Amino acid sequence: KFVDSRDEEFEAEGLKKYNDLNVLAMQLVAPGGLFVTCSCSGLVSPEAFEDLVSKAAHRYQKRLQIFDRTGPGGDHPNASNHPDGRYLKVLWSRIA
């Protein structure tokens, strides 16, 4: 969990860690290979996480084809009045 505070400085630092981790991981995947990345930071929305991963790929000349977006299983429900409870995000993709 890289983003655990709403403080702008800590949030920016956490997002940079997610960026760096994904860039390093993408470099290890051969073209055509499967790339799966996850976040358990409730303060990062699914949209923001996907945007961060997509931008990291483009910045480092990787073409990412996202084919699924998942989260926790049915045994881990989320209260409708607690959006931060949607903390687990999983992006399934292929490095093209």
What digits encode the pLDDT tens for the residues 16-28?
Answer: 888 999 999 999 9
> Which pLDDT belongs to residue 2?
58
Reported as a pLDDT band with limits 50, 70 and 90, residue 1 is: low
Phi/psi at 38 (nearest 5 deg)? -135, 160
Q: Where are the beta strands (DSSP E) in the chain?
A: 34-39, 64-70, 89-95
pTM score, whole prediction: 0.82
What digits encode the pLDDT tens for the residues 46-82?
Answer: 999 999 999 999 988 989 999 999 988 888 888 888 8
Any idea where the domains of the chain sit in the sequence? 8-73+87-95
- Report how far apart, in Å, the C-alpha atoms of 11 and of each of 24, 36, 61, 79, 88 are: 20, 22, 25, 24, 17
